[in-house]
Structure 1
Amino acid sequence: MTDLLSRAGMLDCKSLTTPASVTTSAVPAANPYDNPTHYRRIVGALQYLTITRPDLSYAVNRLCQFMHSPTDDNWAMAKRVLRYIKGTISYGLRITSSTSTAIHAFSDSDWAGCPIDRKSTSGYAVFLGSNLISWLSRKQRTVARSSTEAEYKALADVSAEVTWVVSLLRKLGLHSSEPATLWCDNLGATYLCANPVFHARTKHVEIDYHFVRDKVASGDFVINFVSTKDQLADILTKPLTGPRFTLLRDKLNVVSHHP
């Protein structure tokens, strides 16, 4: 992190409490950034940092969407992430011994959140016991026509990830054989997983999203509703205010190494 700040010439910058602003949108301005190679190097290094810093995932994913032609606004967004890093230089992902081997995962989406192409952003966080072991923040490939569809796509993403985690644990002889619990904050999406009747709203949902329903029917997964207030994957889909961001970062076990 110190090397990254040094390369950007920001070792003495002022720190910020969040990596992304809730007020400015990511619409690129007309004026291109005069050193795109520098932008790509910094953002590429930030991608490596997300391996131990899930709290940066959303902001870095957004920066990566402008690699081909970054603008001055994009560079300003990158500098904001670096100023956040400056204030959290001792932070990292904490892994502790856990008595539970149950898998539970949170999935969320920010419906039509991108102001450029109106695609949604999916996010998920997978826990093994009390430890975060897998996470993702990614723009969806297609435009969702409803918030239920966007959430269902996010559920399909996390279902594929949890299926892989379960198969890995089985090979290691560590799987508890309990069904994995998936938490979603959209009632429509949770009902859809158990009840295949919502025809009018779901005719346009592509077939692979029904992968989730098969997993629920076979008893591999249990899908539960969680209120937006308790949705941990919220931090992976949109910019948040300082207090909310700090609360969710703590729940993802991203903490300072210096007590």
Structure 2
Amino acid sequence: MTELLRKVGMESCKPLTTPMTTTTANSDDEFSPLEDPTVYRQLVGSLMYLLITRPDLSFAVNRLCQFMHNPKEDNRATLKHVLRYVQGTLTLGLRLTSSVALVVHAFFDSDWAGYSLDTKSTASYAVFLGPKLISWGSKKQRTVARSSTEAEYKALADVSAEVVWVHSLLQDLALACPTTLVLWCDNLGATYLCSNPIFHARTKHVEVYYHFFRDKVASGFLKVNFVSTHDQLAGIFTKPLAVSRFTALRFKLRVVPCPLTA
């Protein structure tokens, strides 16, 4: 992180407390393209490697990556904002500790139509092994969702695939874990859709790709439970948050000060 800041002469910049502001606008025609986007692409590429130990940067880096083909002045301003946040959090890292608990559970969330340029939603998930965060993601959905329930339903398909893979990996390592894996959702509509066939008519327009986890729920392999929005840990990966909310979720993900080693 220090080397990255030194490369752009920001090792002494004023630090910030969040990687993005809640009022950040998407790039549009009001801003001119960068004359030389090479530096922008190099810095964003470096930040992608940083995500290995800094999941709190996932949403911001995901947003920056969406403009790699044609970055503009406001994208560069957002990039500098992220770097100033990095400057203020050099000691933070993802803490992993030993644990006998092998319970796999996951949180998933979606910011419906949060991307104003094309009204697509951002879906995210956070997969835990016991108390430890082991997998996470933040990605713009491929198609436009017609409701918040549909956006959450699509996010459920993504986290289901990830959880199934984690469970398979644990089996290959000869590690036993509970047969029922719990997914936490803050949208009651999506919770009902995954198990109640009465609502099937409302999802006829949804691609078959998103329905594969229905069999997993019916067989008891997956279980979708409701969680309040306040306790939805994946919310940090879907949209910019206020300082207090962002800091609280970052701590719950176990991104905490870590001792620096030589």
Partner deviation per Cα, 1:157-207 (whole Å, 9 max, x = no partner):
000000000000001011323311000111000001110111442121111
CA offset at residue 212 of structure 1? 1.8
Distance 2:80 2:201 in 1: 45
CA shift, 1:27, in A, is: 2.7
Report the TM-score, using the length of structure 1 for normalisation. Answer: 0.97
- Matched-pair contact (CA < 8 Å) for 1:27–1:115: no
Does the 8 A contact of 1:118 with 1:143 survive in 2? yes
Quick check: 2:193–2:200 contact (8 Å CA) kept in 1? Answer: no
Match of 1:21 in 2: 21
Give 1:171's aligned residue.
Answer: 172
Q: What code does the residue aligned with 2:18 have?
A: T
SS in 1 for 2:225: strand
Provide the alpha-carbon RMSD of the alignment: 1.2
Rounded Cα–Cα distance in structure 1 between residues aligned with 2:108 and 2:91: 28
Cα distance between partner residues in 1 of 2:185 and 2:212 = 16
How many percent of aligned residue pairs carry the same amino acid?
A: 65
1:9 Cα deviation from its structure 2 partner: 1.5
Q: Give the letter aligned to residue 252 of structure 1.
A: L
The AA in structure 1 aligned to 2:116 is P
Alignment-derived partner of residue 104 in structure 2? 103
The normalised TM-score by structure 2 is 0.96
Question: What is the aligned partner in structure 2 of residue 154 from structure 1?
Answer: 155
For 1:153, the aligned partner's letter is K
3-state SS of the aligned residue for 1:111? strand
- Structure 1 residue 210: deviation in Å? 1.3
Stretch moving more, 163-172 or 208-217: 208-217
1:62-83 deviation per Cα after TM superposition (whole angstroms, max 9, x unaligned): 0000001100100000000000
Q: Give the aligned partner of residue 251 of structure 1.
A: 252
Secondary structure at the residue paired with 1:24? Answer: coil
Q: Is 1:11 the equivalent of 2:11?
A: yes
| CA distance in structure 2 between the partners assigned to 1:9 and 1:25 by the alignment | 26
Specify the alignment match of 1:210 in structure 2: 211
Give the length in aligned residue pairs: 259
- Name the SS for the 2:93 alignment partner: strand
Q: CA deviation at 1:35?
A: 2.5
CA contact (8 A) 1:109 1:150 kept: yes
Contact map agreement 1:166 1:175 (CA 8 A) in 2: no
Task: Specify the alignment match of 1:186 in structure 2.
Answer: 187
Distance of 1:175 and 1:187 partners within structure 2: 31
2: distance between equivalents of 1:168 and 1:200?
35
What secondary structure does 1:112 align onto? strand
Kindly provide the amino acid, as one letter, of the partner of residue 15 in structure 2.
S
- Aligned partner of 1:78 in structure 2 is 79
Match runs of 1:116-127 below 5 Å: 116-127=117-128
Question: How big is the shift at 1:145?
Answer: 0.8
